[in-house]
Amino acid sequence: MTAVTVCASAFFGTAQVNNNKYPVFGVDVSNYQGVIDWELIDEQNVDFAFIKATEGSGYVDRYVSRNLKNIADTDILCSCYHFFSFDSAGETQAENFIKTVDKDKIQLPPVVDIEYYGDKSQNKPSRQEAEEILLPLLEKLEEHYGVKPIIYTTMPVYYRYVKENFSDYPLWIRCTQFEPEHLDWEFWQYSDKGRLEGYYGSEPCIDFNVFCGTMEELEQLVVED
């Protein structure tokens, strides 16, 4: 893992990570990484992975089925994430994810990725508008998978939509400039400029993450059947 992190640190916008403090390393992927050789990824000290599954109420990532099938042959703990839409109902977004991601295909809790897209950073939805979509989405996922979903988000979105009413959900924070020591996070995405061998899509980089704890503590998050 040390060699991997040094490679990532050569890029602007990659936070410095203390590997002794955060020894559990992971990646997240989507169709931009294309076809992935998960056995080769596994050989590069990757402990966990989050795979994009769905977006909004109708989009399904074209590689999610292949990724879930092939990662099952490795020791990598995995889950899937859903890209949150401010523009469709939470119930139908949950249904999209649930019909795409079987319970028995993931080990870690499902993830809801809430961040600005399009013109949303300039035309921010109100907190009430976001909560009316986010709450039923989270509740339906928790009911189906039997565990609180993880919320992935950025700093601005965290403070606007998550901190006040959703801080009891496990947090996966994106912060590529510095360690977010002031937040109580489970996962930290510290770089979007990482490089590994074993993926063959249009995007040459891959997101790097760490878990706030030991491998034994990560295994405690595994969802029981």
The β-bridge partners of 165 are: none
CA geometry: angle 104, 203, 93, nearest 5 deg: 40
CA geometry: angle 211, 217, 161, nearest 5 deg: 50
Instruction: Find the helix or strand (DSSP H, E) in which 49 lies.
Output: strand 48-55
DSSP 8-state assignment for residue 161: I
Give the whole-angstrom CA distance, residue 71 versus residue 78: 8
Give the whole-angstrom CA distance, residue 64 versus residue 54: 9
Contact between 13 and 191 (Cβ < 8 Å)? yes
Our answer to whether residue 115 is catalytic in this structure is yes
DSSP 8-state assignment for residue 105: G
The single residue of 91, 115, 131, 219 carrying the catalytic annotation is 115
CA dihedral 206, 137, 151, 85 (to 10 degrees): 50
Show which residues are catalytic: 115
